[in-house]
């Protein structure tokens, strides 16, 4: 059984939130690039892209929560 102290939690949250912000920034850049370069229906693509991103983020948080529960 692994015990996490306060420093481990702070480090985990810092890394997690930084990676979340970096990935969000990259996704927005990719979205703008795709919308500028490829001629597709922009509203449908943007809505489906955002829904997909939110769904992926929720799945990732559930997965991380399960890992943390099994470690403690």
The pLDDT assigned to 5 comes to 63
Confidence of residue 1 (pLDDT cuts 50, 70, 90): very low
The pLDDT assigned to 66 comes to 82
CA of 11: how far to CAs of 22, 32, 43, 44, 67, in Å?
Answer: 16, 32, 38, 38, 16
CA of 34: how far to CAs of 24, 27, 39, 44, in Å?
Answer: 15, 10, 8, 13
- Tokens standing for 11? 């480090």
Q: How far apart are the first and last CA of the chain?
A: 6
The pLDDT assigned to 4 comes to 57
Q: Write the pLDDT tens digit of every residue in 7-58.
A: 677 787 788 889 888 988 998 898 888 888 888 888 888 888 889 888 988 8
């Amino acid at each position: 059984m692994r015990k996490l102290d306060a420093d481990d939690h702070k480090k985990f949250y810092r890394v997690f939130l930084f990676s979340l912000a970096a990935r969000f920034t990259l996704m927005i850049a990719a979205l703008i690039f795709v919308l500028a370069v490829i001629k597709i229906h922009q509203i449908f693509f943007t809505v489906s892209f955002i829904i997909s991103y939110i769904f992926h983020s929720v799945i990732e948080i559930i997965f991380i929560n399960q890992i943390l529960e099994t470690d403690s």
